[in-house]
Structure 1
Amino acid sequence: MGDILPWSDIKRLYNARLNNGKRGAGNKLARMIIGTLLIKYEMDLSDEETILAIQENPYMQYFVDFSEFADKPIFDPSLFVTIRKRLGTNDFNDMGVSLLKIQIEKYRTASQSKKNDKDDSFAIGPGFGTCTDAEVSYLTDIDLLHDGCKVINCYIAKSCKRFSLAPLVTHYKSARSAYLKVIKLKKRSKKAIRAGKSLLLIYLIRDLHSFINLIVTHGTQLFDSLNCYERKVVTAVIKMHYQQLWMFKDDTYTCADCIISIFQSHIRSIVCGKLKSPTEFGVKIDAGIVNGYTFIDHHSWDIMNLRI
C-alpha cells in the first residue's frame, strides 16, 4: 500500500489546505501525517495507541516514509488535535475525490496515448463481479420467526412501559418453548421443523395483532415513539411473516426478495457455488480495475447477473 498510493499528489493536495506559506515553522511531511491517519482509522486505534503501534512496527514506519527503523515516537499524540482541526471529514473526502479525478484523467490520457502509439504500459485489469460479505449469520426460517416473536414482545413491553399502560400478555414464552424443542433435536426431521414453524407462525401473528391493536387503541403516537430503526424492524417482521406464511403454505423454501435478517432487511442472499460457502450475503458489485484502482460500475442489494 505504501508503494501504490500516489504520494506526490497527496502531498500537493494536503499542502494546499495548510495556511503556513508565509509564516510558521513549517509542517510535518504529508506522507507522515496522512499515513499516520490511515493507520489510526484503518486499525481503529486511539491517538496514543497509534503512536505506539508505529513506534513498534517497522512496516508502519516504512508506510509513513521512514528510511530506517526508529524506536522513538513519530510525534506527540497531542498533535492529532491540530491535525483534526486542519483536516476534517470533508477535507479528507475531498482529497479522496481529487485523487480519483487525477487517476481518471491519467487513465484518459494514457488511453489516448495507447490508441495513438499502441503503448501497453497502462494496464486496465479485467472486470469482475462478486458479493461483498455483510457478516450475517445463516439464519433458518425457524430462527427468523423466533427473532420476530422476540422483537415484537420487546416492543410491546417497551411501549406499555413508556405510556404507563397495563402490560399485555404475549406468546413469546410459548414461541420460545416451541423454538427450543426443534433446535435441540440432534436430527431435525422435516416434519418436526414444519410443526415448529407452524406454531411460531401462529404465535407471531397473534403478537403482531396485539401490537397493532395497541396502536389503534392508543393512537399512532405509540408507534411514532419508536425510533427509525425500530420502526424499520417492525415493518421487516410483518413482511417476513407474510413471506414465511406463503412459503409454508406452498411447501417451498424460496420467494422473491426473501428477508434473511429482520435487523438488516435490505440484505439478500446469492448462491455463488463456492465449495466452502455456497451462499453469501451482502451487496452485489460489478467492478473494473484501472491501473490498480478498483471502480464500482454497479452495485445492488438485490440479486443481479454479475460479470465474471
Structure 2
Amino acid sequence: MYRHNQKQLEFETFELPFGGKLRSDNRWVKLAKFIPWGQFEPAYSKSLTNSGLGPPAKSVRVALGALIIKERLGTSDEETVEQIRENPYLQYFLGYKAYEDEKPFDPSLFVYFRKRFGKKMLAKINESIARKALEQEKQSKDRSQTKNDDDSTPTGGGSENQGKLLLDATCTPADITFPTDLKLLNTAREKSEGIIDILHSPFKGKYPKPRTYRKLARKAFLSAAKSKRLSKSKRRKAIRKQLGYLKRNLKSITKLSQRTPLTKLSPRQYKELLVIHEVYRQQQWMYDQHENRIDDRIVSISQPHVRPIKRGKAGAATEFGAKISVSLINGISFVDRISWDAFNESGDLIDQIKAFRKRFGHYPASVHVDRIYRNQDNRRFCKKHGIRLSGPPLGRPPAAVEIQKEIKKQVRQDELDRIPIEGKFGQGKRRFSLSRIMCKLAVTSETAIAVSFIVMNLEKWLKGLSSLFFTSSLLFMVHIRVLQRRFNGLLGRLVGKYFQAKMHLSLLRG
C-alpha cells in the first residue's frame, strides 16, 4: 500500500503549536520549494511491492527528504529521527501539514529507504536537481551579464563547443577494519566456531561436540598479531595454523549439516558461511602459490562486496571500498559510475563527454583531467570533435621560446582549472560521509554515496542563491547611493537658484 506524495505546502499554512509561522527565507523552506518532488513519484512507487498488506509506505518526499536531512546534518539514523521530531522546519521539508510531536517513523526504516532508491534512480534525481540548478544559475548570470562566453553555463542549443568539463575518480572507503590475511582468517575461524555451536545445540548431551581448539587457535593468533616484528616465515607459519583450524571447522560443519539442516542458521549466518568457504579457498591458494593477490579478493566477512582499490596516494596506497567516477560542470557534480571492482577511469572519458552532449546539446570546449586520462583513444576522440584536452601536447616541444612559454602557461592554467573537482572530493570526505561509508550492504552503500553528491549539489545551489542575494542587495544599495547623490546635487542647485533669485529681487527693490 502506498499513499501519494503530499503536494508542496505554503509556509504560511503550516500549523505551529502556540501560534507563529515559518520564515520564508529558511534554508529548509528554500530547499523544499526547489526540489521537484513530483517528478520522482512514478519511479519511487514502482520500487514498492504494492501487496496491499501492512501499513502504508512512506511517500517519496519523506523517504528522500529523510536521507537528505541525515546526510546534510551528518547524524545517525536515530538522531535524524529525533531532529525531525523536534524541528518544525524539517517536518515542513518532509511535507507535513502541521507540527507533530511524535516520531515520524522508526529509525530502522532508513535501511528500506536506501534499498528503494537504487543508484540509477538517484542518478535521475540528481540529474533533475542539477539541471534545475544550472538553469537558474544561467538565468541569474544572464541578467547580471558578468560572465564571459568561454565560462558560460551550457544550457543546450547551438552546435559550438561550450563550457568546461572536469573529470576524476576516487575511492569511498567502507567501514571495515584494515584487512590482513591473518586477521581475516582469524575472523572466519571465530564465525565458523559460532556456526558449529548453533548446529550442535539440538544434540547437546547426545553426541560429543566437534573439537575446534578455539583456545589454542586464539593464542596462536594473538602471539603473531602482537609481535612487533613479524618475519615472513613466522607470518606464513601463523597463516598455516589458522588455515588448518578453519579447514577442520568447515569439515565439522559439513558433518553437522547432515544431522541439523542449515536452515537452523539465520540468513546472515548462512551468507557468512558461504563467504567463509570462499575466503578459505582464496587464502589456501595464495598460501600454496606464494602469492599476495587474487582476483575478486574478499577483505571482509561482513561486507564481501568490498574490494581493495589501488590508489597510490600518500599514506593510503590501497583503499577498501567503492570506486566512483565523477564529472563536474560549473560546480555541479554527476556520479557517472559506481563500482566495487577496480577499473581504469580513463575508459569512462568518452562516455562522460557523450553524457555532457546529451545534457546540454553540444560538446564541451575543454576537458580537464589528470595524466591517466590522456591516452591515444581519448586524444583521438577529443581531436575529432574539436575538444581541447588539458595537459601538454604530444611530441617534441616547439623551438620558439614564446610558444613554449604559452604552452607552459596553458598547462598551468589547466591544472588550476582542475582544482574544483579535487575540492569537491575533499568536501564530500570532510564535510559529508564519503570518507567512511557506514552502510553494510552494497545497494545501501551506493545509495549513501549518491545522496552525498545530491546534497552537495543542493549546497552549491543554496550558496549561489545566497551570493546572488548579496550581489543584488549590493547593487541595490549602489543604485540608491547614486540616486541619493543625484538628488543631493539637484537639491543643492535648486537651493542655489533660490538664493540667487532672492538676491536679485532684493537688489531690484533697493
Structure 2 Cα separation of the partners of residues 37 and 133 of structure 1:
20
Task: Show the counterpart of 2:212.
Answer: 170
* Farther off after superposition, 39-48 or 265-274: 39-48
Structure 2: distance between partners of 1:197 and 1:207: 15
User: Which of 271, 276, 282 is the matching residue for 1:243?
Assistant: 282
User: 1: CA distance between counterparts of 2:280 and 2:113?
Assistant: 41
Cα deviation for residue 99 of structure 1 reads 4.9
Q: Given the alignment of the two structures, is residue 214 of structure 1 paired with residue 249 of structure 2, yes or no? A: no
Report the alpha carbon displacement of residue 272 of structure 1 after superposing the two structures with TM. 0.5
Asked whether 1:274 is paired with 2:313, we answer yes
CA gap 1:200/1:48 in 2 versus in 1, 3 angstroms? closer
In the TM superposition, what are the counterparts of 1:125-144 in structure 2 within 5 Å? 125-144=165-184
Which residue is 1:112 aligned to? 156
User: Taking structure 2 as the reference length, what is the TM-score of the superposition?
Assistant: 0.44
Deviations 1:139-184 (A, max 9, x none): 2111111111111111010111146563322132221121111112
CA contact (8 A) 2:299 2:308 kept: yes
The code of the aligned residue for 2:222 comes to L
Does the 8 A contact of 1:270 with 1:279 survive in 2?
A: yes
Letter in 1 for 2:200: C
Over 3 Å counting, the alpha-carbon distance change for 1:39 and 1:233 in structure 2 is same
CA shift in 2, pair 1:89/1:185, >3 Å: closer
Query: In structure 2, do the counterparts of structure 1 residues 226 and 78 end up closer, same or farther at CA, with 3 Å as the change threshold?
Result: closer
The answer as to whether partners of 1:156 and 1:211 remain within 8 angstroms in 2 is yes
> Structure 2 regions of 5+ residues with no counterpart?
1-25, 42-60, 106-111, 136-152, 347-369, 371-510
Distance 2:65 2:130 in 1: 23
Partner residue of 2:342 out of 295, 303, 306: 303
Contact 1:9-1:99 within 8 A present in 2 as well: no
Q: Distance in 1 between matches of 2:329 and 2:227?
A: 52
Q: Which residue of 2 aligns with 1:39?
A: 69
3-state SS of the aligned residue for 1:273?
A: strand
Aligned partners of 2:305 and 2:340 also within 8 Å? yes
1:10 to 24, 35, 41: 35
SS of 2:345 mapped into structure 1: coil
1:204 aligns with: 246
Q: Is the 8 A contact 2:327 2:335 kept in 1?
A: yes
Asked if 1:145 is matched to 2:185, the reply is yes
1:156 to 196, 202, 216: 196
Aligned residue in 1 for 2:47: none
Q: Which residue of 1 aligns with 2:322?
A: 283
Question: d(CA) in 2 for partners of 1:170 and 1:295?
Answer: 51
* Percent identity of equivalent pairs: 27
3-state SS, counterpart of residue 137 of structure 1: coil
Task: Select the structure of larger CA radius of gyration.
Answer: 2
Give the whole-Å Cα distance in 1 for the aligned partners of 2:203 and 2:261.
8
Give the gaps of 5 or more residues in structure 1.
Answer: 17-30, 65-73, 82-87
For 2:124 and 2:185, locate their aligned partners in 1 and report how far apart those are by CA, in whole Å. Answer: 47
Q: Structure 2 CA distance, aligned partners of 1:47 and 1:149?
A: 38
Distance 1:173 1:35 in 2: 49
From the superposition, tell whether residues 128 and 241 of structure 1 become closer, same or farther in structure 2 (CA, over 3 Å).
Answer: same
> Hey, what's the Cα distance between the residues in 2 that align with 1:6 and 1:47?
19
Partner of 1:185: 227
Whole-angstrom distance in 2 between the partners of 1:12 and 1:239 = 44
